[in-house]
């Protein structure tokens, strides 16, 4: 602020920088300060680049979260179906009765746009030459656009989806009991090779791990049920 073309501060009114930064603080309510090195700040865009990279990182994490929620809510009969996402609009235009995960998809698209903005900011930041970066308008526009998009999308997703998620407890219990991965804990008792055999026997016989363990009388039924309890294995308090 007040560095003019290359950071020298030539040709600005007296005390312009201090007056300008005071007004910016009053408008935003934020404690902005003048750059310590106006030469570096005029030609480089590291601050904007870093802020955009942080927004991109948040966007990537949110994409992962929303994709997980979409998969966990898939169904209700031929998918995972462990959770229910709130229905915010009437079904699907193609399949009657279908509930689309529209809020998760909305957040995904918003995050895709933020990643695109970050790519544009990266190109604009490296495009500056010598003492001046002429691409500052794009840097500012895309950064502010990303902030606005992420704020709105995350807030809307929280209010219209996240807070309304419910758990299908029976379905979760059903899938956990059917999981062959439960055999992992047996390796601590009977070894990897024997545990692998049990997994194959359970799979081939269409039975659960605990049913197979009981059938083979590998251990006492009470010990088997306690050892193969999914909640205890994951450290979840009942």
Phi and psi at residue 149, to the nearest 5°: -65, -50
Catalytic residue among 54, 61, 92, 179: 92
Rounded-to-integer distance, Cα 109 and Cα 161, Å: 15
3-state secondary structure of 233: helix
Domain with CATH 1.10.40.30 in the chain: 169-233
Contact 122, 136 (CB under 8 A): no
The CATH class of 169-233 is mainly alpha
pLDDT in tens, the chain (238 residues): 777 878 788 888 988 999 999 999 999 999 999 888 888 888 888 899 999 999 999 999 999 999 999 999 998 788 999 999 998 887 777 877 778 899 999 999 999 999 999 999 999 999 988 888 889 999 999 999 999 999 999 999 999 999 999 999 999 999 998 999 999 998 888 899 999 999 999 999 999 998 999 899 888 888 888 888 888 887 776 5
Note whether 69 and 27 are within 8 A (CB). Answer: no
Name the helix (H) or strand (E) containing 167: strand 166-167
The CATH architecture annotation of domain 44-167 reads Up-down Bundle (1.20)
| Active site annotation includes 92 | yes
Q: End-to-end alpha-carbon separation of the chain, Å?
A: 58
CA proximity to 178, closest of 201, 206, 197: 206
CB-based burial, 219-238: b 16+ in 10 Å, e otherwise: beeeebeebbbbeeeeeeee
Q: Where in the chain is the domain with CATH 1.20.200.10?
A: 44-167
Which helix (H) or strand (E) segment holds residue 83: the answer is: strand 83-84
pTM over 0.85: no
């Amino acid at each position: 602020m007040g560095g003019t073309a290359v950071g020298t501060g030539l040709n600005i009114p007296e005390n312009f920088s201090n007056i300008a930064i005071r007004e910016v603080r009053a408008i935003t309510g934020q404690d902005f300060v003048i750059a310590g090195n106006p030469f570096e700040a005029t030609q480089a865009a590291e601050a904007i680049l870093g802020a955009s990279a942080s927004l991109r990182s948040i966007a990537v994490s949110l994409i992962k979260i929303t994709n997980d929620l979409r998969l966990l809510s898939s169904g209700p009969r031929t998918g995972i179906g462990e959770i229910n996402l709130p229905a915010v609009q009437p079904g699907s235009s193609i399949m009657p009765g279908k509930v689309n995960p529209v809020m998760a998809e909305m957040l995904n698209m918003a995050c895709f746009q933020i990643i695109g903005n970050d790519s544009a900011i990266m190109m604009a930041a490296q495009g500056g030459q010598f003492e001046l970066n002429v691409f500052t308008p794009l840097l500012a526009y895309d950064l502010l656009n990303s902030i606005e998009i992420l704020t709105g999308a995350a807030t809307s997703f929280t209010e219209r989806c996240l807070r309304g998620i419910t758990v299908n407890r029976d379905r979760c219990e059903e899938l956990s009991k059917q999981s062959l991965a439960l055999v992992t804990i047996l390796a601590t008792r009977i070894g990897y090779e024997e545990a692998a055999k049990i997994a194959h026997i359970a799979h081939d016989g269409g039975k659960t791990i605990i049913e197979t363990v009981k059938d083979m009388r590998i251990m006492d039924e009470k010990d088997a049920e306690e050892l193969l309890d999914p909640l205890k294995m994951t450290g979840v308090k009942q």
